């Protein structure tokens, strides 16, 4: 089994395909240019966000001397649209996920788009151990060095960081009565939902976008993830699906023949430095997975630069009659959409380990708490049939970090089983958004739980598409999703201010 440290919500460990592989790590390529990045550069003086640092406690849960260690946690802030503390105007906080917070801010235009309407203060808090929020004096070699130091990288510590920072920030602004809304996408969306459940005295509501909080411990099927990818391609073109599905065996057969690897290398324009069929399969699978995740209705540049509806574009390449009968040429055409949309690639490097958004430490989380079974492939899957195998994950994690995962911890700490019944009687004010083209939607909350724990589901939607900057080209369904989210949040705020105006106890 090949362990490809693929990008997940950002990074998840995907145990892929082939049948006789050794453990290896594949990192997809991430071209660096990001539209709007100039808007964030604080040196220009007219940046959207100002960058600040907060002295954060390393260990919120242990009083031994170690717990007095601190680190510098980065957060971004914008008060341009804020109505101010006197008016108790709201604070919108993005609960950062597993990567550079500036990158998430660039891909969460929703916050800035709605700020003038809500007169909200905008804050993006970086998750510990990512970006510039590195404990141990910012020394990554030490922080990532071993399981003892990485032990401070957990979702519970991160949530406590957010609680601590938000309280302190509000105190500094004398905005104690301002309502806080937490928002996040993907793992950040999980954190937003969990924050609302664990810290209801700090956040009055949560918008949790594409948050697969049910992707744990057998609550959702381990096949759902790849079934959705399969369906995405199939819904566009049955032929495209069949060509891709048939290609894996063809690649493996070719690789076994003499000169076969060289043929594959040339077919896919792989650089001369390295090729193996496992890496090639991992690289192609990564392209299909991320394209499905980011099948946005407008051109985007989240993981890679892509055209609108990239799954359709990939299948157009596969189905192109001019390419003729050559499966590898068809697949090359598809991969070229994901890896070379800008046209800049001279050859494809299968062992490119660049990590421009600083996501690599997700591997630690995926080996400790975030045991999310997504790797099952049914007979109909676009990938070769395979079963989710916990022992595989466990032995991979042992080999990398020398630790045993805690596969039941997330459901112990945050719940998940029978979520409708549990949350119907406990909790309020959470929006769960899911786009059904997003493979993570299989682990999402897709049904309304109560009047104020609401599921918004978009059949055509992909991974946290609702949180992206709005554009003139946005389809009607996407405008509608955002409109409904804004309406619900407005309702929560109205209720909050009504309660605030009442004398306490009444
Ligand atoms: C882990 O790293 C820290 C910091 O470098 C070091 O002090 C500690 O001894 C290491 N622990 C183990 C078990 O190697
Ligand atoms: C609040 O103010 C104190 C004193 O200036 C500062 O040290 C701290 O970082 C501030 N808190 C936040 C969240 O910025
Ligand atoms: C494509 O290949 C199939 C079988 O591999 C063959 O029957 C068919 O004639 C070929 N078509 C063309 C256009 O070469
Ligand atoms: C990338 O696209 C350009 C322009 O279409 C093309 O010339 C180049 O060969 C492609 N690179 C690779 C590695 O396929
Ligand atoms: C799971 O993987 C382990 C090796 O890591 C293997 O021994 C076991 O047979 C596998 N189980 C299934 C159901 O494939
Ligand atoms: C949940 O309820 C809201 C109205 O409050 C509705 O707009 C939405 O479609 C419902 N979601 C589902 C999945 O039925």
The pLDDT tens digits for 165-217 are 999 999 999 999 999 999 999 999 999 999 999 999 999 999 999 999 999 99
> Is 387 close to ligand 5, i.e. is its CB under 6 Å away?
yes
Q: What pLDDT sits at residue 506?
A: 59
Query: Which residues, given as ranges, of the chain have pLDDT below 70?
Result: 1-46, 505-506
Q: What pLDDT sits at residue 405?
A: 97
Which numbered atom of ligand 1 lies nearest the CA of 136?
4
Q: What pLDDT sits at residue 8?
A: 38
By residue count, the chain amounts to 506
Closest CA to 19 of 248, 351, 264: 248
Give the count of alpha carbons within 13 A of 194, CB side only: 29
Torsion of CA 92, 95, 101, 104, to 10 degrees: -80
Cα–Cα distances (Å) from 192 to 184, 266, 288, 333, 485, in that order, read: 6, 46, 28, 39, 15
Give the ligand with the smallest distance to the CA of 270. Answer: 4
Cα separation, 288 vs 7, whole angstroms = 12
Torsion of CA 115, 117, 121, 122, to 10 degrees: -20
Which residues have CB under 8 Å from 475's CB, separation 6+?
Answer: 297, 460
> Is 392 close to ligand 5, i.e. is its CB under 6 Å away?
yes
Closest CA to 184 of 463, 503, 446: 463
**CA-proximal residue: ligand 6, atom 4 (nearest):** 454
DSSP SS3 for 15: strand
Provide the strand spans (E) within 79-131: 91-95, 121-125
Which numbered atom of ligand 5 lies nearest the CA of 391?
5
Euclidean distance between the first and the last CA atom of the chain, given in angstroms as a whole number: 62
Which numbered atom of ligand 4 lies nearest the CA of 332?
14
What would the two tokens of residue 227 be? 């079934």
Residue ranges in 306-448 assigned as alpha helix (H):
310-319, 327-339, 362-368, 390-401, 409-414, 419-425
Q: What pLDDT sits at residue 12?
A: 38
Instruction: Give the sign of the dihedral formed by CA 436, CA 431, CA 6, CA 373.
Output: negative
**CA-proximal residue: ligand 4, atom 4 (nearest):** 343
DSSP SS3 for 311: helix
For a ligand 5 pocket test, name from 377, 392, 397 the mutation site with the most ligand atoms within 8 angstroms of its C-beta: 392
Report residue 261: phi and psi, to 5°.
Answer: -65, -40
Beta-bridge partners for 455: 432
Cα separation, 195 vs 414, whole angstroms = 10
Beta-bridge partners for 386: 377
Cα separation, 335 vs 332, whole angstroms = 5
Q: What pLDDT sits at residue 66?
A: 72
Give the tens place of pLDDT for each residue, 372-412: 999 999 999 999 999 999 999 999 999 999 999 999 999 99
Q: 6 with 289: CB under 8 angstroms? A: yes
Q: What pLDDT sits at residue 7?
A: 36
- Residue linked to tokens 């990001």: 34
Cα–Cα distances (Å) from 213 to 192, 312, 411, in that order, read: 11, 29, 9
DSSP SS3 for 205: strand
Q: What pLDDT sits at residue 64?
A: 83
Cα separation, 492 vs 487, whole angstroms = 9
Q: 278-313 in b/e burial notation, b at 16+ Cβ within 10 A?
A: bbbbbbbbbbbbbbbbbbbbbebbbbbbbeebbbbb
Question: Which strands, in side-by-side order, build the sheet including 453-458?
Answer: 50-57, 70-78, 121-125, 91-95, 180-185, 205-209, 430-435, 453-458
Which residues have CB under 8 Å from 33's CB, separation 6+?
Answer: 301, 305, 342
Give the ligand with the smallest distance to the CA of 136. Answer: 1
Q: What pLDDT sits at residue 46?
A: 55
Q: Which residues are catalytic?
A: 186, 438, 463
> Is 395 close to ligand 5, i.e. is its CB under 6 Å away?
yes
Give the ligand with the smallest distance to the CA of 246. Answer: 3
What would the two tokens of residue 487 be? 């309406």
Strand pairing category for 305-306 and 180-185? unpaired
Q: Which strand (E) or helix (H) includes residue 55? A: strand 50-57
What would the two tokens of residue 452 be? 């104020």
- Residue linked to tokens 């099927």: 221
Which numbered atom of ligand 2 lies nearest the CA of 165?
13
> Is 399 close to ligand 5, i.e. is its CB under 6 Å away?
no
Give the Å distance between the CA of 142 and the centre of ligand 1. 8
């Amino acid at each position: 089994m090949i362990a490809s440290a693929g990008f997940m919500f950002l990074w998840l460990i995907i145990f892929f395909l082939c049948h006789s592989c050794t453990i290896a790590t594949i990192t997809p390529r991430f071209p660096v240019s990001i539209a709007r990045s100039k808007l964030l550069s604080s040196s220009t003086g007219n940046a959207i966000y100002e960058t600040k640092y907060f002295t954060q406690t390393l260990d919120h849960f242990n009083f031994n001397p170690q717990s007095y260690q601190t680190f510098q946690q980065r957060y971004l802030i914008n008060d341009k649209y804020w109505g101010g503390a006197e008016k108790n105007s709201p604070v919108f906080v993005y609960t950062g996920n597993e990567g550079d917070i500036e990158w998430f801010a660039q891909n969460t235009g929703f916050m800035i788009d709605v700020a003038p309407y809500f007169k909200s203060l905008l804050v993006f808090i970086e998750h510990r151990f990512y970006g510039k929020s590195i404990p141990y004096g910012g020394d990554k070699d030490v922080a990532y060095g071993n399981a003892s130091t990485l032990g401070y990288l957990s979702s519970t510590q991160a949530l406590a960081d957010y609680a601590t920072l938000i309280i302190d920030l509000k105190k500094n602004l004398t905005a104690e009565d301002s309502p806080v809304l937490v928002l996040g996408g993907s793992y950040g969306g999980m954190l937003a939902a969990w924050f609302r459940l664990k810290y209801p005295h700090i956040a009055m509501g949560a918008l949790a976008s594409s948050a697969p909080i049910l992707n744990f411990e057998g609550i959702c099927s381990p096949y759902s993830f790849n079934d959705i990818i399969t369906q995405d391609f199939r819904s566009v073109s049955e032929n495209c699906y069949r060509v891709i599905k048939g290609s894996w065996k063809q690649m493996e057969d070719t690789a076994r023949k003499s000169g076969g690897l060289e043929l594959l290398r040339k077919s896919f324009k792989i650089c001369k430095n390295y090729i193996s069929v496992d890496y090639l399969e991992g690289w192609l699978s990564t392209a299909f997975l991320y394209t499905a995740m980011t099948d946005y209705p407008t051109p985007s540049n989240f993981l890679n630069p892509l055209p609108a509806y990239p799954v359709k574009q990939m299948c157009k390449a596969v189905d192109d009659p001019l390419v003729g009968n050559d499966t590898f040429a068809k697949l090359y055409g598809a991969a070229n959409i994901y890896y070379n949309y800008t046209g800049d690639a001279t050859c494809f490097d299968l062992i490119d380990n660049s990590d421009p958004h600083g996501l690599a430490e997700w591997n630690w989380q995926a080996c400790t708490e975030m045991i999310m079974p997504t790797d099952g492939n049914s007979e109909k899957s676009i990938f070769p049939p395979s079963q989710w195998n916990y022992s595989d994950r466990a032995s991979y994690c042992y080999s990398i970090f020398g630790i045993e995962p805690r596969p039941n911890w997330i459901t112990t700490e945050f719940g998940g089983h029978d979520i409708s019944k549990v949350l119907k009687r406990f909790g309020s004010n959470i929006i769960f958004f899911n786009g059904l083209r997003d493979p993570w939607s299989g682990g999402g909350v897709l049904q309304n739980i109560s009047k104020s724990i609401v599921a918004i589901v978009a059949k055509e939607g992909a991974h946290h598409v609702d949180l992206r900057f709005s554009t003139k080209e946005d389809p009607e369904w996407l405008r509608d999703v955002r409109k409904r989210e804004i309406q619900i949040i407005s309702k929560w705020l109205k209720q909050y201010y009504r309660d605030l105006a009442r004398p306490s106890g009444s």
